[in-house]
């Protein structure tokens, strides 16, 4: 019986939630690899099934996540590619993920773009994925099982362009309220970019920081947040521009 292997990069936890919901439609259990902290070579066999979830950062999969995922090699391993975004734009991210998996000898049988609460602008897609999203994700999972059982590959055309849109560095600052910080160092241990000094969790090296939100999401005191003029001026316009509900898209 095939093992279902979950691979994801999920700084705010929502991409992991989508992958978990999709994996729950399969009866098989397997390993999980959180690319926030897993950074090693890994080979999957033809009897495995990979469910790979990535967030969308300004139209791409995150650079660090891409580098770590590139260390996973398949053996014509069936794979389901999922990108999760905050109701704004997928752009080239799903195409990039499908291409990378194929390059690493995965047999991509299906792909999806799903919507979750925006990790930076918290007024966008509040409460998502909701029950309607989850129902669609689980139905997609059943259809994926049928494709695997019939040995079919992805047939649908994935939207996107090559070359992919350039990586974009967001100008937003991340601040930490020292009066609230409990100095638990959870943010230090979770940061995939090592942008928070080991000896000073209040500080953030914004040149290294990818604005992934892992440190904000994990903070038990809510001491860390986006701040600064660039963020405050962008927030209202972004939230208004992306207020209309988008729906998950599935490709088989």
Block means of pLDDT (10 residues each) for the chain, length 252 residues?
Answer: 90 97 90 96 95 98 98 97 98 98 98 97 97 98 94 95 95 95 96 95 96 97 96 97 98 98
Q: Where are the alpha helices (DSSP H) in 107-185?
A: 131-149
pLDDT reported for residue 201: 94
pLDDT reported for residue 30: 85
Name the domain count of the chain. Answer: 2
Residue 71 shares a structural domain with residue 95: yes
Of the three residues 104, 132, 162, the one that is the final residue of a domain is 162
Q: Is residue 251 part of a domain?
A: no
Residue 27 shares a structural domain with residue 151: yes
Q: Is residue 246 part of a domain?
A: no
Q: Is residue 252 part of a domain?
A: no
Residue 117 shares a structural domain with residue 30: yes
Q: Is residue 102 part of a domain?
A: yes
Residue 10 shares a structural domain with residue 92: yes
Residue 155 shares a structural domain with residue 186: no
Q: What CA–CA distance (Å, rounded) separates 102 from 100?
A: 5
Residue 158 shares a structural domain with residue 177: no
- The answer, as to whether pTM is greater than 0.85, is yes
Q: Is residue 248 part of a domain?
A: no
Residue 92 shares a structural domain with residue 116: yes
What is the span of the domain harbouring residue 55?
Answer: 3-162
Q: Is residue 245 part of a domain?
A: no
- Give the C-alpha distances (Å, rounded to integers) separating 171 from 89, 103, 205, 210: 19, 32, 13, 10
Task: Give me the residues paired with residue 72 across strands.
Answer: 42
Task: Give me the residues paired with residue 8 across strands.
Answer: 34, 53
Residue 49 shares a structural domain with residue 144: yes
Burial of 93 (0-12, 13-18, 19+ CB in 10 A): buried
Residue 149 shares a structural domain with residue 183: no
Backbone angles phi, psi at 238, to 5 degrees: -65, -45
pLDDT reported for residue 2: 76
Backbone angles phi, psi at 42, to 5 degrees: -150, 135
Q: Is residue 247 part of a domain?
A: no
Of the three residues 111, 128, 162, the one that is the final residue of a domain is 162
Residue 210 shares a structural domain with residue 108: no
Note whether 76 and 104 are within 8 A (CB). no
Residue 102 shares a structural domain with residue 179: no
CATH of the domain at 50: 3.40.50.360
Q: For tokens 């690319």, what's the residue?
A: 35
Q: Is residue 61 part of a domain?
A: yes
Of the three residues 162, 193, 216, the one that is the final residue of a domain is 162
Contacts 24+ apart (CB under 8 A), 162-168: 162/92, 162/95, 164/59, 164/60, 164/92, 164/95, 164/96, 165/58, 165/59, 165/60, 165/91, 165/92, 167/58, 167/60, 167/63, 168/57, 168/58, 168/59
pLDDT reported for residue 247: 98
């Amino acid at each position: 019986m095939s093992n279902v292997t979950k691979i994801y990069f999920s700084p705010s936890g929502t991409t992991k939630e989508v992958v978990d919901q999709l994996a729950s439609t399969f009866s098989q259990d397997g390993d999980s690899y959180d690319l926030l902290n897993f950074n090693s070579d890994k080979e999957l066999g033809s009897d495995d099934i990979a469910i790979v979830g990535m967030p969308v950062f300004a139209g791409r999969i995150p650079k660090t996540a891409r580098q770590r995922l590139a260390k996973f090699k398949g053996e014509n391993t069936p794979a389901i590619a999922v990108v999760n975004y905050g109701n704004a734009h997928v752009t080239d991210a799903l195409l990039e993920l499908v291409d990378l998996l194929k390059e690493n000898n995965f047999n991509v049988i299906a792909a999806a773009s799903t919507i979750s609460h925006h990790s930076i602008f918290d007024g966008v897609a509040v409460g998502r994925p909701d029950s309607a999203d989850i129902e669609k994700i689980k139905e997609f999972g059943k259809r994926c099982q049928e494709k695997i059982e019939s040995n079919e590959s992805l047939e649908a055309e994935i939207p996107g362009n090559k070359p992919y849109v350039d990586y974009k560095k967001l100008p937003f600052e991340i601040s930490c309220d020292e009066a609230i910080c409990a100095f638990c160092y959870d943010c230090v241990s979770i940061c995939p970019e090592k942008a928070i000094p080991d000896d000073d969790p209040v500080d953030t090296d914004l040149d290294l920081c990818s604005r992934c939100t892992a440190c904000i999401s994990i903070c038990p005191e809510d001491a860390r947040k986006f701040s600064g003029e660039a963020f405050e001026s962008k927030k209202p316009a972004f939230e208004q521009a992306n207020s209309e509900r988008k729906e998950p898209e599935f490709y088989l």
